[in-house]
């Protein structure tokens, strides 16, 4: 009996063809689930994506493994060899652990406005609310308790998990996944100060999200003040991210959890932003930029590269020592300049010897 009763298993030779890997070893071996090298059992397909775990190849009980060409000789197990083992694992996992098919139809407890258009193949879950003029396309899924506002468009194969709120006129592209608790299209933080009070600025733009995106749980994306907030194709957003009004996130960019992006900032294509990074408003981050976790970005970045602004963790007393030295730098600089002047030189010319 297979170790994953929900899947009958796939012959390794077939799996190699379907994920574009090279088979080495017995192609008749069947795998029915993905697993870690450490905890794999019969029927498990494990993978090695980092040399740090190479030693586990000798002890794993997996039925087969995915490795890169460099590590193919490190195990006698049947193997799938691929230049990018992590991507191959992702493809195999999708085949071995497919999502349960949704049942088309509108749940009796859902409220669907009479002017909304819901395709017959779409799924509307319990207590969901679909607003006036909304368009729910083929095979789209709206989970329990979702609120889909007026004139929202959900393209084909979109999946909206439970308790998501999508405000009016938002556009969601095909095959995009939105996880529970996300809020899409809420008001941007637009306020004008007058006479000691704050005057709310109406937010009349939309949120437009492209194809094949993923929006994490409890992530919020504000609609534009005038123009739209735009999330381009294949953008991946982790949980609890805040994206301000009028931002643009370029295609194929990935952003980790707890990042905050202030309004009117443009993030380029193919960027990677680490968790808890904070990005000020009205900035431009160029394509192919990597921003390390916890980094504060207060000016535009025009040159691709890796940018880091976080102070690495230290034992507390070492951190205090380092900070005390940092606080003295300005005083030490002034003392050095005074010494150079006394010696007949100039701090402006330090390090500029002929």
Report how far residue 176's alpha carbon sits from residue 178's, in angstroms, rounded to the nearest whole number: 7
pLDDT tens figures, 100-118: 889 999 999 999 999 999 9
Do residues 77 and 225 share a domain? no
pLDDT band of 345, cuts 50, 70, 90: low
Identify whether 158 is part of a domain: yes
pLDDT band of 354, cuts 50, 70, 90: very low
Do residues 179 and 287 share a domain? yes
In terms of pLDDT, which residue wins out, 221 or 326? 221
- CA distances to 140, 286, 316, 320, 329 from 324, in Å: 57, 35, 12, 6, 9
- H, E, C per residue of 172-213: ECCCCEECCCCEEEECCCCEEEECCEEEECCCCCCEEECCCC
Query: Domain range holding 202?
Result: 105-307
Average pLDDT over every residue of 227-252: 98
351 has a pLDDT exceeding 50: no
Across the beta sheet with 135-136, the strand order is: 117-118, 135-136, 153-154, 171-172, 207-209, 229-231, 248-249, 266-267, 284-285
Do residues 89 and 200 share a domain? no
Q: Looking at residue 4, what is its pLDDT?
A: 54
Identify whether 313 is part of a domain: no
**Does residue 82 contact residue 19 with C-beta atoms inside 8 Å?**
yes
Query: Helices marked H in the chain — which ranges?
Result: 12-19, 85-96, 316-327, 329-342
Average pLDDT over every residue of 297-302: 98
Average pLDDT over every residue of 230-238: 98
Average pLDDT over every residue of 303-328: 93
17 has a pLDDT exceeding 90: yes
CATH number of the domain to which 85 belongs: 3.40.1390.10
Q: Looking at residue 2, what is its pLDDT?
A: 43
6 has a pLDDT exceeding 90: no
pLDDT tens figures, 135-170: 999 999 999 999 999 999 999 999 999 999 999 999
CA angle at 114 for the pair 221 and 103, rounded to the nearest 5°: 70
Selected catalytic residue, list 7, 245, 252, 316:
245
What pTM was estimated for this model as a whole? Answer: 0.90
pLDDT band of 5, cuts 50, 70, 90: low
Do residues 65 and 121 share a domain? no
Do residues 275 and 331 share a domain? no
Average pLDDT over every residue of 13-20: 97
pLDDT tens figures, 197-212: 999 999 999 999 999 9
Tell which of 54, 72, 96 closes a domain: 96
177 has a pLDDT exceeding 80: yes
Do residues 292 and 332 share a domain? no
Q: Looking at residue 100, what is its pLDDT?
A: 87
Do residues 240 and 293 share a domain? yes
Q: Looking at residue 136, what is its pLDDT?
A: 98
Query: Does the annotation mark 245 as catalytic?
Result: yes
**Does residue 110 contact residue 130 with C-beta atoms inside 8 Å?**
yes
Identify whether 2 is part of a domain: no
- CA distances to 101, 124, 141 from 104, in Å: 9, 8, 8
- Split into its structural domains, the chain has a count of 3
Identify whether 175 is part of a domain: yes
Average pLDDT over every residue of 78-88: 97
Q: Looking at residue 311, what is its pLDDT?
A: 87
CATH number of the domain to which 223 belongs: 2.160.10.10
321 has a pLDDT exceeding 80: yes
């Amino acid at each position: 009996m297979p170790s994953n009763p929900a899947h009958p298993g796939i012959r390794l030779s077939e799996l190699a063809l379907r994920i574009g890997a090279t088979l080495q070893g017995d192609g008749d071996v069947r795998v029915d689930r993905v697993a870690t090298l450490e905890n794999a059992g019969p029927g498990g397909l494990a993978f090695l994506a980092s040399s740090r775990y190479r030693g586990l190849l000798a002890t794993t009980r997996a039925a087969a493994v995915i490795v890169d060409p460099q590590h193919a000789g490190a195990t006698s197990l049947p193997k799938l060899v691929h230049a990018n083992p992590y991507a191959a694992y992702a493809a195999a996992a999708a085949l071995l652990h497919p999502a349960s098919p949704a049942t088309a139809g509108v749940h009796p407890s859902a409220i669907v406005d009479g002017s909304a258009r819901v395709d017959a193949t779409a799924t509307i879950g319990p207590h969901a609310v679909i607003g006036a003029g909304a368009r729910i396309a083929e095979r789209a899924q709206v989970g329990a308790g979702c609120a889909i506002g007026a004139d929202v468009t959900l393209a084909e194969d979109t999946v909206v998990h439970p308790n998501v709120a999508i405000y009016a006129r938002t556009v969601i592209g095909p095959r995009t996944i939105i996880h529970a608790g996300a809020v899409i299209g809420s008001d941007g933080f637009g306020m004008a100060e007058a006479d000691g009070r704050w005057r709310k600025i109406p937010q009349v733009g939309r949120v437009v999200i492209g194809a094949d995106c993923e929006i994490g749980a409890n992530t919020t994306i504000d609609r534009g003040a005038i123009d739209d907030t735009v999330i381009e194709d294949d953008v991946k957003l982790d949980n609890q991210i805040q994206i301000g009004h009028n931002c643009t996130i370029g295609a194929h960019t990935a952003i980790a959890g707890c990042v905050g992006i202030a309004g009117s900032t443009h993030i380029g294509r193919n960027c990677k932003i680490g968790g808890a990074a904070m990005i000020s408003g009205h900035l431009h981050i160029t394509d192919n930029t990597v921003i390390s976790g916890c980094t504060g970005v207060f000016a535009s970045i025009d040159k691709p590269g890796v940018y880091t602004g976080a102070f690495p963790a230290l034992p507390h007393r070492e951190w205090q020592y380092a900070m005390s030295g940092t606080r003295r730098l300005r005083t030490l600089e002034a003392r050095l300049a005074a010494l150079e002047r006394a010696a007949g030189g100039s701090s402006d010319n330090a390090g500029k010897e002929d």
